[in-house]
Amino acid sequence: MVGIKRFTIGIFSIVLLFSFILNISIGAFSLSFNDIVNTFLSPLDNQINYQVLVDIRIPRIILSIFVGVAFGISGAMMQTLFKNPLADPSLIGVSAGASAGVVIFMMLGAYLPAIFSEELSSYIVVPFSAFLGAVITILAIYKLSTLYNKVAVTVMLLAGIAINALLGALVGLFSYVSTDEELRTFTFWTMGSLANGDMNVIYIMFPIIIGVYIFAIKKKVELNLLLLGEDEARNSGVNTERLKKLIILSVSLAIGVSVAFCGIIGFVGLVVPHISRLLVGSNHKFFLPLSAILGAFILVWADAIARTIIEPAELPIGIITAILGAPFFLWLLVKNRQNTLN
């Protein structure tokens, strides 16, 4: 049993590695493997190739991996925190909350004196506002939907609808008074894109994503116990109050930076944990690593589709993930219909 689970995780790691290599050659500017090898052997002779690879393509693929891990792991932790497979960060409004944080910062920013430089603003302040937006949203939804340590799933989902609608209104309001250039940015917020990936983004995301992943793995036993129920976890010795706060904090960090740099990418946090649960069961020891790997795998390929399907233009990645994810969500609802009735 354990052997098969380890094997599954191993297989998917290898598949992810191959996807990474394969995707370096795919894109509007097509490069064969020979080109890639030559470029790295003698960068000076292939300057254009080198720039495409090192400045654009490789950072973008690394970014898609980070964002995939962020959504995979966050989705997994959220589903455990809410004890429900429908608790997806995008569905219940956490991503929307993060982008609302950014939009509000931008709106205020127009009226405030420019205290932050352009660089500082886009790499530090924007992610931080996204993080704040995410924290507030998760806390609000958790408080709204729990009573006597139990989660009311309907309230959770409906609160998500309300929050998503509120953000829609906010973005609508802002788009009314904004220029064409800004409008394009809002499309980016609501539908997501990995086109902004550069090395600075990677440097900022790296410690956060690694930190959140390590936190999740370290807490695997506690997360398992949390599935039994909050009372059971606490009676067995888990400091559930602290654990819940740490989960909310780390999910907000991961979703906050992802949304700040890549906008809202829906359904990954819903679909990925569900598939990994089908493959290796619910034990977080296997479930978490596979969710991270699968999340990365799906985002790498969703982005590959997004940037090649209407070459030389690009589709927002959120369209791809929604086309794949929304039917899956409906299928999940139908599958869980029986439980909902009981």
Partner 1 sequence: MFKVRNLSYKIQNKEILKDISIDIKSNNFLSIVGPNGCGKSTLIKTINRNLSDYEGNISLENKDINSFCDKELALKRAVLNQSFYFPYSFKAIEIVEMGLYSYSLEIKEKKKILEYIVDKLDISLLSQKDYQGLSGGEKQKIQFARVVAQIYASCEKQKFLFLDEPTLNLDIYYQYKILDLTKELVMDLNIGVCAILHDINQAYMYSDEVLMMKDGQVRHFGNTQDILTSKNILDVFNVQSDFVYSEKLNQEILVTHAC
Residue 190: both structure tokens together: 């609501």
Nearer to partner 1 (CB atom), residue 127 or residue 289:
289
Residue of the chain from 32, 34, 113, 148 that contacts partner 1 (CB under 8 A): 148
Segment interacting with partner 1, rule: CB under 8 A, options 55-63, 65-73, 173-181, 234-242? 234-242
Residues 237-266 binding partner 1 (CB under 8 A) are: 237-240
- Other Cβ atoms less than 10 A from the Cβ of 179: the count is 9
Residue 222: both structure tokens together: 């506690």
70 in contact with partner 1 (CB under 8 A):
no
111 in contact with partner 1 (CB under 8 A):
no
Instruction: Compute the CA torsion angle 163, 284, 226, 136 (nearest 10 deg).
Output: -30
274 in contact with partner 1 (CB under 8 A):
no
Please report, as a single letter, which amino acid is at residue 6.
Answer: R
CB 263 within 8 A of CB 191: yes
Segment interacting with partner 1, rule: CB under 8 A, options 90-98, 113-121, 131-139, 216-224? 216-224
234 in contact with partner 1 (CB under 8 A):
yes
Report in angstroms how near the CB of residue 236 gets to partner 1 at its nearest.
5
Tell me the C-alpha to C-alpha distance, in Å, between residue 136 and each of 131, 141, 158: 9, 9, 17
228 in contact with partner 1 (CB under 8 A):
yes
Q: How far apart are CA 36 and CA 328, in angstroms?
A: 37
End-to-end, the C-alpha distance of the chain in Å comes to 32
CB 81 within 8 A of CB 248: yes
Residue of the chain from 231, 310, 327, 340 that contacts partner 1 (CB under 8 A): 231
Placement of tokens 């992810």 in the chain: 16
Residue 31: both structure tokens together: 């490069």
Segment interacting with partner 1, rule: CB under 8 A, options 24-32, 93-101, 232-240, 321-329? 232-240
Residue of the chain from 60, 219, 277, 307 that contacts partner 1 (CB under 8 A): 277
Contacts to partner 1 by CB under 8 A: 1, 148-149, 221-222, 224-225, 227-229, 231-232, 234-240, 277, 281-283, 339
